[in-house]
Amino acid sequence: MSIFCLFVLITITLLIGVYLYRVLRGPTVFDRVLGLNGISTKAIILLVVMGTFYDRVDMFVDISTGYALLNLVGSLAIAKYLEERREVF
Amino acid sequence: MSLNELSEVARLFMTPIAIGLMLVGLFFLFVAAVGVLRLPDVFTRSHAVSLTDSLGTLFLLGGLALYQGFSTNLVKILIVLVLLYLLNPVIAHATVRAALRSGLKPWTREDA
């Protein structure tokens, strides 16, 4: 199971690269926000898998809960700000 | 057979199921990444980010929770899963509504 957790960790890290490409090259700013949302979802999964790898799930799960809530606040703030401004760039 | 041995047997039995579920989850996450890379505009990409990603997360975290056995860790992982399922659609909806209201035209077949 430890080796499999390592495999999952490496695969998800490679998938984050795809989202990072979308954040860097996205034609509009909304693509970048969506890409950041995807990256933070991957980070939450990554933290739980890392907890299983180190046998300390009880600690890592709390960190990932906090990360999920921070992701909600940040993404909603950016989305509301862009909605009020009403211009595409 | 004591309770401890029973839990050992259960873990031995659950590990292949957990690995299978996590492989299915990895497949869905891979499909979501391909969608983010290949789809043409924000509105189509938001499907890949919110829907397929949530499904992959369900399978991956479900497999991890099964591997934990019957403990508080299982409940904590399920709490994270429920939280993700509440928050992910909200963020995707807010972003796409902001995109639509700021005047972005959805992709149609004529644009291809």
The region of weakest confidence among A14-23, B69-78, B88-97 is B69-78
Contact B37 A18 (CB under 8 A): yes
pLDDT score at B106: 85
Spell out the per-residue pLDDT of chain A, length 89, in tens. 789 999 999 999 999 999 999 999 878 889 999 999 999 999 999 999 999 999 888 899 999 999 999 999 999 999 899 888 877 66
Give me the domain span that covers residue B33.
Answer: 3-106
Predicted local distance difference test score (pLDDT) of residue A13 = 93
Q: How many domains does chain B have?
A: 1
Is pLDDT at B24 greater than 90 in this prediction? yes
Burial tier of B103 (Cβ tally within 10 Å: 0-12, 13-18, 19+): exposed
Q: Label residue B105 by pLDDT band (50, 70, 90).
A: confident
pLDDT, averaged across chain B: 88
- CB B38: neighbour CB atoms within 10 A? 10
A15:B29 CB<8 A: yes
**What count of other Cβ atoms lies within 10 Å of the Cβ of residue B20?**
13
**DSSP H helical ranges for chain B:** 3-38, 42-47, 53-68, 72-101
Residue B111 lies in a domain: no
User: B-chain residues within 8 Å CB-CB of A21?
Assistant: 37
Enumerate residues 42 to 101 of chain B having a beta carbon within 8 A of any beta carbon in chain A.
42, 45-46, 49, 53, 57, 60-61, 64, 67-68, 72-73, 76-77, 79-80, 83-84, 87-88, 90-92, 94-99, 101
Interface with B, mutate which of A20, A40, A61 (most B CBs under 10 A):
A61
* Domain range summary for chain A, segments of one domain joined by +: 2-85
Q: Which residue has the tokens 């259960």?
A: B10
How high is the mean pLDDT of chain A?
Answer: 90
How far is B46 from B68, CA to CA, in rounded Å? 32
Contact A57 B68 (CB under 8 A): yes
Please name the member of A41, A61, A79 whose beta carbon is closest to the beta carbon of B77. Answer: A61
Residue for token digits 């309770």? Answer: B3
pLDDT of residue B22: 92
Q: How far apart (Å, rounded) are the C-alpha atoms in residues A27 and B9?
A: 53
For residue A83, what is the nearest residue in chain B, using CA coordinates? B98
Write the ipTM: 0.89
Res. B3 pLDDT band, cuts 50 70 90: low
